[in-house]
Amino acid sequence: MTPRLRLQHITKAYPGIVANNDICLDVAPGEVLAILGENGAGKSTLMKIIFGSVAPDRGTIEFDGREVEISSPSAARELGVAMVHQHFALFETLTVAQNVMLGLAENLSLEDACRRISELGQRYGIPVDPRAFVAELAMGERQRVEIIRALMTSPKLLILDEPTSVLTPQAVRKLFETLRQLAREGVSIVFISHKLDEIRELADRCTVLRAGQVIDTVVPQEKTEDELARLMIGNEPPKLAERSGKPGGVALELLGVGLDGGRHVAGLSNIRLAVRTGEIVGIAGISGNGQSRLLGVCMGELPVEQGTVKIFGKEVNKLDPAQRRALGLRYVPEQRLGHGAVPEFSLMTNTLLTGDDLHSKGFINHERSRAFTEKVIETFDVKTPSVMKPAQALSGGNLQKFIVGREILNHPRILIVDQPTWGVDVGAAAVIRNALVKLRSEGAAIVVVSEEIDELYEICDRIAVMYRGYMSPAVPVQSLGMEELGRWMAGLWSGSPFKKKTREAN
């Protein structure tokens, strides 16, 4: 069978780094090919070459047996290539429907676009309001928009770069059903994921990249997850260190906190939570149920409309983020580019965003800034040739390691983290989780919002759930089974207003 896509000797270099080095691979019609590699292994660069966003320095591309030059994303779409990007390529000031229409060659009316988006979302279990503005959507909802936009083009080759990173387990199951159906219909799928269980479940073959080179191509079902991890990393994956915290006094407290929502945004209703020093409290829930807005209220980015936020017993409702940082509060936001880091700024300049001891009275201490940036890069194994590299030039996983490392090495007394291991490989995830556990053992109070349920069970002392802006009680992890957690994620915990409504409906 003629391959749908064949890459021959693809090479791409940037100053100080060879991203892709003599890569050869192919994918057949109806085949699911997984691409596995550490952060910075060259996966995203290779996908951008296939999609026409980046031109290779050397090598050839064949599509359906014919050599082609893919000079732009529009040329890729004409061939039948669609891509779901890891860093979402969406305009926040436009609606979902308007963003989708920008990626289509055919002319659709707004009404037709809204109808088709709703139909696709319903059919594939990734619903999203076509009239919502992207700025109002959580990261998981934005991921759905990217996937729907790709499916709207009826592609021959579908590239997915970390498509499940902020999807719920239920949405992942539905997405995999969709991808299998597309494969049966002859669509070729190239699938990048750091989640080894997903690769073993979905992929027909798996090509492993390391430092920009193809190491091996294997049948993933014939390998264990540990074997795949060793192929990817080149040695044994790190294990989670066993350290336990000793809960002390209340560090962060929310008393009846409320925030109005809207048609597309979950508000916050009577949130009550106390987080102690020396403990990690995890917050689970499907994306878009108010988790990110809750952390925005904690950090002072969103004003409290009802209730009180306290840091070490002091009311901070009127304090801005800088003033809260001065009290020891640090924040790793969900959105890396544009929120956690300024894309065009260098890594060294980005350290100044929250490094309060790196500047004083308008003067920057460049020597200290460089030393601190180098320490983050070394400690968290951030793959970059220079501290002067722009944040947007890093792979998603490496940028995540940088942002998490920057905040942890500022020695916070309280750390709130939104999706700590989004898009990072198994080795990097272990490094980040170990750093959080170590920080807890040193007496910090930590709040972790994550849609990785296994991650919450692995590192948290207590866990709570958010549903439509309401929060369940925070209970010890060992007291909440996975099945019960699933019910809580549907709003059915004891005392929940939604459980009461369900009883009344029955």
Cα–Cα distances in Å, from 170 out to 98, 125, 284, 451, 458? 27, 8, 14, 11, 20
pLDDT at position 120 is: 87
Confidence bin at 104 (pLDDT 50/70/90): confident
Residue 139 pLDDT exceeds 80: no
pLDDT at position 244 is: 67
pLDDT at position 504 is: 54
Residue 505 pLDDT exceeds 60: no
Q: How does the average pLDDT of the chain come out, rounded? A: 90
Cα–Cα distances in Å, from 95 out to 64, 110, 120, 141, 192? 35, 10, 17, 13, 27
Give the mean model confidence (pLDDT) for residues 272-283. Answer: 97
Pair of tokens at residue 171 = 């949405």
Residue 163 pLDDT exceeds 90: no
pLDDT at position 58 is: 96
**Cα–Cα distance for residue pair 215/449, rounded to 1 Å:** 35
- How many helices and strands, by DSSP H and E, does the chain display? 17, 23
By C-alpha distance, which of 26, 19, 21 is closest to 5? Answer: 26
Confidence bin at 395 (pLDDT 50/70/90): confident
Contacts of residue 425, Cβ cutoff 8 Å, sequence gap at least 6 = 37, 38, 39, 194, 232, 233, 397
Confidence bin at 503 (pLDDT 50/70/90): low
Q: Per residue in 1-36, pLDDT tens?
A: 799 999 999 999 988 789 999 999 999 999 999 999
Strand-pair partners of 209: 37, 214
Q: Per residue in 285-309, pLDDT tens?
A: 887 889 989 999 999 999 999 999 9
Q: Per residue in 46-73, pLDDT tens?
A: 999 999 999 999 999 999 999 999 999 9
pLDDT at position 115 is: 94
Cα–Cα distances in Å, from 205 out to 26, 27, 125, 159? 10, 9, 26, 15
Q: Per residue in 327-365, pLDDT tens?
A: 999 999 988 888 999 999 999 999 998 887 888 777 888
Each as own residue / partner, the long-range contacts of residues 337-345 (CB below 8 Å, 24 or more positions apart, any chain) are 337/87, 337/391, 337/392, 337/399, 340/399, 340/403, 341/391, 341/399, 341/402, 341/403, 342/391, 343/390, 343/391, 343/392, 344/390, 344/391, 344/392, 345/390, 345/391
pLDDT at position 236 is: 77
pLDDT at position 234 is: 84
**Cα–Cα distance for residue pair 94/172, rounded to 1 Å:** 26
Cα–Cα distances in Å, from 487 out to 29, 33, 270, 391? 40, 35, 21, 39
Q: What is the DSSP string of 227-266?
A: HHHHHHHSSPPPPPP-------SEEEEEEEEEE---SSS-
Q: Per residue in 438-490, pLDDT tens?
A: 999 999 999 999 988 888 999 999 999 999 999 999 999 999 998 898 889 88
Give the mean model confidence (pLDDT) for residues 265-275. Answer: 92
Give the mean model confidence (pLDDT) for residues 390-395. Answer: 89
- Cα 198 versus chain centre, distance: 16
- Cα 441 versus chain centre, distance: 26
The whole-model pTM stands at 0.75
Task: Using only the alpha carbons of the chain, give its radius of gyration.
Answer: 23
Residue 376 pLDDT exceeds 80: yes
Q: Which residues of 320-353 are buried (b: 16+ CB within 10 A; e: fewer)?
A: eeeebbeebbbbbbbbbbebbbbeeebbbbbbbe
3-state secondary structure of 338: coil
pLDDT at position 166 is: 64
Confidence bin at 140 (pLDDT 50/70/90): confident
Residue 306, phi then psi, degrees to nearest 5: -140, 150
By C-alpha distance, which of 311, 308, 306 is closest to 321? Answer: 311
pLDDT at position 506 is: 47
Cα–Cα distances in Å, from 145 out to 212, 359, 383? 30, 40, 30
Higher pLDDT residue, 120 or 276? 276
Residue 238 pLDDT exceeds 80: no
**Cα–Cα distance for residue pair 425/237, rounded to 1 Å:** 10
Give the mean model confidence (pLDDT) for residues 422-430. Answer: 83
Give me the domains of the chain, ranges plus CATH numbers.
5-233 (3.40.50.300), 250-505 (3.40.50.300)
Cα–Cα distances in Å, from 476 out to 1, 60, 461, 480? 55, 55, 6, 7
Residue 393, phi then psi, degrees to nearest 5: -85, -15
Q: Per residue in 402-419, pLDDT tens?
A: 999 999 999 999 999 999
